[in-house]
Structure 1
């Protein structure tokens, strides 16, 4: 199977370098017309690179935190190409510090770029995708959000928030064939410099991650998946619910909960709820109700 994106239109944010550049180039190689968004002239170079290779690309210089700019980017794309099929929310920044040393402004800025930037872009294309009954959206989450990372409280909070956004939008978009997924990359970008030694960074080429993105924006893409990718490896992350415990005598006690912690945490029989309501259903079923 060859993924053919001919006549598809894609917007990639933060596409001037690193992962975003790799995403934009791969999309263009597979036939998509690409809007390359970033803040500086590097995005212009990516557009030239795509066009010189025989593809079609447009530049959109501005911040995803500016909802007015985002709307203008979407409007100009529609004027030029008449549709938007793919949105890759990749733009991001780091402001790493331990929480005790972190200024609240740095916390808010990271949330604004990663989370609200993705919200702004997704909101601007959502009705277009609903109307055309087709859309593919990728959120860029992170292992820092999924599992935590020292010194990245702001980044982790934003990245896990994107998972929650993905989960709900995938449900809401399902009947319109809008498929929404997350990719959690490990890639040697400017944001990774100084974190890993050079020989390991050399194995973490951004273009290797981009193949996960490409799968998630294809015609046959899944929806509500969290794909982790790096160094040529791919994994799937899931948010699961254990079978847990039930106290037949009410009210339950915190002491009893701690005493049965091992059983509570037992992962045998754990499952992935398809909707938030399934937690309620699971708990009521254990209490003797069938809903």
Structure 2
């Protein structure tokens, strides 16, 4: 069995939409027929793990079957969050080793902030997906700008973290081992923001400097949030599975998710199938 692809969803800033992005990537992969393992390193919040627990409960209650990821046991998240770094690393390494034997893709959702587990996960990544909001507040973790001219000055703390992960991977696996880093602008407002062009120009400059590529994220749609309690995403909707009324906005959201998957080099799978908003 070939080694699984390791995708790490990371950004040291909270509120950027990491878990939302992780949930949608995983469900897209599941519908493409991939065996997916998830490791949720946000030990206190555990949004990714809770989403799939909701999914299992909802499908069982409604007589449906949907693909599920496997989740290696990290133990009690809150207890582990209070453990020392050595124990945290040992638990993570055991969970990762278990996942390697069960999946085509391992997706790791990391917490906001710089933690020993987040650093370890980034060092294992084949691909790092970094969501950021359409804001210079989020950009500040990637690069700093001159407060007068807004010209790019230098990479910032998270860019330095990814550089360190790339260096460690090259040391452990050879200089040809590459980490594909993709930054996606998440939660875009439907109307173009006034500062978006200025932000995109700085992003393009920083991308050339530190070596990431830019991809499309997910717009700020109620649709992405309203399905969370059911453990569902727009990838799951069909003529049989629709716990909310399906509109043209859901159809657009599914195409948006397909664009995200393709930009990451992942199979869009079922997202090509038509979704009838009138059914």
Q: What TM-score results when the alignment is normalised by the length of structure 2?
A: 0.46
| Larger RCO (CA within 8 A; separation ≥ 6) | 2
Rg larger in structure = 1
Q: What TM-score comes out, normalization by structure 1 length?
A: 0.44
